[in-house]
Amino acid sequence: MRTISDGNIKQSFPPISNQTAEILILGSLPGEKSLAMREYYAHPQNKFWRIIAAITNNKTPVTYREKTSLLINNRLGVWDVVRQAKRIGSLDTNIVDEVPNDIDDFISRHKKLKVIGFNGTKSLKLYDKYFKRCEHIKYIHLPSSSPANAKIKFDEICEKWRKLSE
């Protein structure tokens, strides 16, 4: 059995957003590929950027600048529930000793925020563990964009993710 060492402490990134953000998509904690690239959803098999392009009727962005612009231009924000945690590999099930980001502060500074979408079950569970839900925000549990979630077809995922803007 492997034990977790200090070398397995992972840190999340700052949020991608601006003051026009109406929708915040929360993941759990960046995976190994994302951490190495210093980019959200960097694993080539992660469907996140394809989903965002599809639900906003845009072409799939290629560069990270295009990806972040796609979010900002569509009033979307991205962040993770976890600021820091111990984790071996990229699986959410391996997250332990997590410390949450200050999502309450994010919400208070983003007055136009109407919806929070959870990219997968782990982000939802961690949010509910550390935060109270706001009455003025709609919360949506989304199927994970992770390559580990191969059981649901792309069109079905997009259909569920479109609920973010309904």
Residue 137 one-letter amino acid: I
Which amino acid, one-letter code, is at 160?
K
Please state at what angle helix 48-55 crosses helix 154-161, rounded to 10 degrees: 60
Residue with tokens 């993770």: 80
Q: Indicate which residue of 46, 74, 101, 119 is catalytic.
A: 46
For residue 46, indicate whether it is catalytic.
yes
Q: Are 163 and 51 in contact (CB under 8 A)?
A: no
Active site (catalytic) residues: 46
